[in-house]
Structures are given as C-alpha cells and as structure tokens.
C-alpha cells in the first residue's frame, strides 16, 4: 500500500472480531481510500516531471509532518528509550522507503510502479514470518512465487515504447522493489511501538525523523540538479502529504475500527485498478496482454499470500 504511515494491523495479525454487516458509509470510505492511495504513484509521476526525487520527497513530508503533529497534539510524549527505534524506523520507512519509491516511479511507467507497489503486503508476510516466528503455509508460498512471477511479466510487458516518462527500466523496477521491502520492514518493526505509544504519535515522530534525514540530501540535490517549482509540483506534493499520508492514515484507522482487518485489507486489491486506470488516462500507458497477465498473477498471488490461516486469535490494539 502507498499510505506509507499506514498501521501494520491488517497484515500482521487476525482480529478476533465477530462478523458484522458493513454499512454503506464504510464501503464508501474503503472506496475513497482505494482511490486516494491508488492515485499515489500516478500523482508522484506528475510531480517528478519538474522536481528531482529527493527534493520532491522532502516537499511531501514538509506538508505531512506539521499535520501529523497537529493531529497528535497532547499525545506525542514518548520515553527517551523509544527514540532510537523511532528514529531508525523513520529513516528506514520514510527516508529510504519513500526516496526509493520516488526513484522507482521516475524509472517506471505509472502502471508498472502502481502494480509493484501493491506487493508491499507480500513482503509484510515474509517479514512477519521472520519477526513474529509466524508459519508461512504452503498456499502463502505459492502466492509469493506467483506474485514475483507476475512482477517479471509486468516489467517486460509494460508498453515502455511510449515516451521517456512512460518508459520502464530495470533500475526503476529494482528501486520500486527496494521501496516495497523498506516500507514492509517499517510496518512490521513498528508494530510494538504503535501498540505501546499509539499510531499517530509514532507516525508523527517517524515522519519527522525521516524528514530531518532527507533534508540535507534534498539540499545537495537542489544544488546539483535543475528543477522548476511549478503549480503541478506543489499540488502533487500537497496531495501526497495531505491525502495519501495524513488523511489516508486517518481513514484507514476509521475503517479498522468498524470492520475486521481482513475485510479492510481488501482495499489493497482495488488500489492497482484505480492507479492503472489513472496511469492510462494521464500518461497513455500501453497495457499489453503480458502486462495484464502479470497484473493477474500479482493480484492472485497477493490474495493467496495474505489469506488468513487461523492459528489462534492475536489481537492487535491500535491506539490513536
């Protein structure tokens, strides 16, 4: 998923919650979130037309960080012992994860970037198995293998002969995979911190640490690269900071409160649909049969990889 500060709840545990009817309001919220997060990669692509990756990532979090602290007002105190972990996770998930994503988006078509970013839950399954000693069932391994096969098909069948902005390179695909791995690592290793201190406070401090780490790099890039701060660059950075990072997190937390996590996780299947549709409209991405087959493999693999195998309830508490 592309809400980088999203809580890890849906991917790391099953909530012991009785079945309940889903209201039209909740369905609407899930659709809105899928659209908001699904547009993340195409919107990033637009922003990178005139702004280099490091600078653009810094612009995004210059918008998001003040809003996160405003929403976390009065809840931001954390013990000194938690600071090293928060800073390390901020640098890993916010700085490294988002910078890698920006470089990846620049080196892939928006469609390819969108579908590869949808593999984040797959890496969450892998890291959860390592971190929490969770058993990976046979069907999960089948899903993982299918998804990675789909990534290969997507990479070679992306219709990259359109123009420079729509071309997909091996390095671009590699950067997108690095981003997915870094963000998945962030979700899993931030689990204990968010359970102890709350999602919003930890998200705010993570984002601040990530921003502080990226500012010197962005300054160096500004001194050595040509760029143009256009209206398009500003509104795309604002969209990512406000809608994807902050509003997306709040909407996600609302959804988790009213439906089981496994239902909320279905949002991840809709994101690529909206993202690829937007990419085709905005950039004219050519979607070949090979690309379509790759998308089908990735989504099928994703469904298997994150499918629930009940071994006993493990409730994850999400505090705001």
Whether 317 is covered by a domain: the verdict is no
pLDDT at 57: 96
- 91 contacts 207 by C-beta, under 8 angstroms: no
Whether 15 is covered by a domain: the verdict is no
- 229 contacts 47 by C-beta, under 8 angstroms: no
Whether 11 is covered by a domain: the verdict is no
Q: What is the pTM of this model?
A: 0.81
pLDDT < 70: residue spans in the chain: 1-21, 155-166, 261-263, 265-266, 306, 308-320
- 143 contacts 302 by C-beta, under 8 angstroms: yes
Number of domains forming the structure of the chain: 1
Question: Helical H runs in 157-190?
Answer: 170-189
How many Cα atoms occupy the beta-carbon half-sphere of 281 within 13 Å?
9
pLDDT at 312: 44
pLDDT at 285: 74
Q: What is the gyration radius of the CA atoms in the chain, in angstroms?
A: 19
- 316 contacts 262 by C-beta, under 8 angstroms: no
pLDDT at 157: 66
How many Cα atoms occupy the beta-carbon half-sphere of 189 within 13 Å?
21
pLDDT, tens only, 94-134: 899 999 999 999 998 888 888 888 888 788 878 888 887 77
Whether 7 is covered by a domain: the verdict is no
Choose among 2, 263, 204: nearest CA to 86.
Answer: 204
Whether 63 is covered by a domain: the verdict is yes
Whether 267 is covered by a domain: the verdict is yes
Determine the structural domain holding residue 70 and report its residue range.
30-305
pLDDT at 316: 39
Whether 313 is covered by a domain: the verdict is no
Whether 17 is covered by a domain: the verdict is no
């Amino acid at each position: 998923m592309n809400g980088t500060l999203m809580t890890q709840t849906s991917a790391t545990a099953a909530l012991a919650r009785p079945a309940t009817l889903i209201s039209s309001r909740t369905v609407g919220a899930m659709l809105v979130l899928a659209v908001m997060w699904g547009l993340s990669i195409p919107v990033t692509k637009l922003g990178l037309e005139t702004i280099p990756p490091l600078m653009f990532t810094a612009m995004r979090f210059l918008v998001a960080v003040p809003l996160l602290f405003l929403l976390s007002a009065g809840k931001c105190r954390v013990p000194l012992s938690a600071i090293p972990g928060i800073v390390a996770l901020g640098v890993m998930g916010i700085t490294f994860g988002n910078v890698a994503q920006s470089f990846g988006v620049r080196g892939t078509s928006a469609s390819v970037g969108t579908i590869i970013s949808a593999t984040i839950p797959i890496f969450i399954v892998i890291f959860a198995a390592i971190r929490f000693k969770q058993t990976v069932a046979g069907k999960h391994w089948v899903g993982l293998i299918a998804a990675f096969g789909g990534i290969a098909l997507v990479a070679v069948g992306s219709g990259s002969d359109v123009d420079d902005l729509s071309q997909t390179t091996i390095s671009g695909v590699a950067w997108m995979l690095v981003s997915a791995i870094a963000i998945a690592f962030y979700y899993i290793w931030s689990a204990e911190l968010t359970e102890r201190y709350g999602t919003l406070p930890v998200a705010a401090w993570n984002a601040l640490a990530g921003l502080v780490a990226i500012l010197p790099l962005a300054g160096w890039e500004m001194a050595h690269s040509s760029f143009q701060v256009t209206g398009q660059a500003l509104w795309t950075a604002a969209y990512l900071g406000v809608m994807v990072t902050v509003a997306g997190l709040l909407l996600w937390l609302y959804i988790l409160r009213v439906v089981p996590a496994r239902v909320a996780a279905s949002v991840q299947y809709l994101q690529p649909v909206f993202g690829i549709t937007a990419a085709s409209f905005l950039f004219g991405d050519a979607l070949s049969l090979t690309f379509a087959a790759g998308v089908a493999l990735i989504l099928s693999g994703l469904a298997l990889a994150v499918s629930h195998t009940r071994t006993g309830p493990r409730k994850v508490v999400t505090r705001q």
